[in-house]
């Protein structure tokens, strides 16, 4: 079973890295991009035979306690069936 | 319209950062995680009124030419309807 965790900066937090990418894209002609935000992505392979409910609880705890800095970041996750 | 680009290391490329997270998770008791791979996530806000086909072409070019290092990385993307 595979879990995907996406960690992004809260919208209230400035994202200079995303801003830099945005500026670079405009400079080379991609003018249809209005904004860029950068985040992190984690792919977790989970032990076989783990039930869906336990997987959800575990991944949520991992995302919350280890992968995300709750002061400036938030997360979403998805578990492949 | 919003596009989401996920850049990951090719599976043949070692991921010491993911390995470190995996070790840390095991040490604090998350023994159901078999592997961790870390990647990057980019959220692109696209200009309003862009049609789906142009959006796809643009995002694919941006992902390929700017966001991904083709030697060691690969990407997937998703465009919100």
Question: Would you say A75 and A67 are in contact if contact means Cβ atoms under 8 Å apart?
Answer: yes
Range of the domain at A66: 2-79
Two tokens at B13? 């490329």
Q: How far is CA A76 from CA A3, A56, B36, in A?
A: 11, 12, 16
Of A36, A35, A42, which Cα lies nearest the Cα of A6?
A42
Question: Would you say B48 and B1 are in contact if contact means Cβ atoms under 8 Å apart?
Answer: yes
CB contact under 8 A, A45 and B35: yes
pTM: 0.90
Q: What is the pLDDT of residue B49?
A: 87
Q: Could you report the average pLDDT of every consecutive run of 10 residues in chain B (81 residues)?
A: 96 96 96 95 93 94 96 95 71
Q: How far apart are CA B29 and CA A12, in angstroms?
A: 33
Q: What is the pLDDT of residue A67?
A: 97
Which residue intervals of A12-64 are DSSP H helices?
16-27, 52-62
Q: How far is CA B7 from CA A50, A65, A71, B10, in A?
A: 27, 24, 25, 9
Kindly identify which residue of chain B lies nearest to residue A54, measuring between CA atoms: B32
Of A80, A78, A75, which Cα lies nearest the Cα of A8?
A75
Q: How many domains does chain A have?
A: 1
* CATH code: domain of residue B10: 3.30.1280.10
Asked if the model's pLDDT at residue A81 lies above 80, the reply is: no
Q: What is the pLDDT of residue A49?
A: 87
Q: How far is CA A71 from CA A9, A15, A27, B62, in A?
A: 9, 14, 33, 31
CB contact under 8 A, A33 and B40: no
**Chain A with chain B: Cβ pairs closer than 8 A:** 100
Tell me whether B51 touches chain A (CB under 8 Å). no
Q: What is the pLDDT of residue A79?
A: 94
Supply the ipTM of this predicted assembly: 0.88
Averaged confidence pLDDT in chain A: 95
């Amino acid at each position: 079973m595979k879990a995907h965790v996406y960690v992004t900066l809260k919208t209230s937090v400035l994202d200079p890295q995303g801003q830099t990418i945005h500026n670079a894209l405009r400079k080379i002609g991609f003018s249809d991009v209005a904004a860029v935000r950068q985040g992190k992505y984690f792919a977790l392979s989970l032990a076989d035979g783990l039930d869906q409910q336990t997987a959800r609880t575990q991944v949520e705890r991992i995302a919350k306690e280890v992968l995300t800095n709750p002061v400036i970041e938030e997360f979403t996750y998805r578990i492949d069936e």
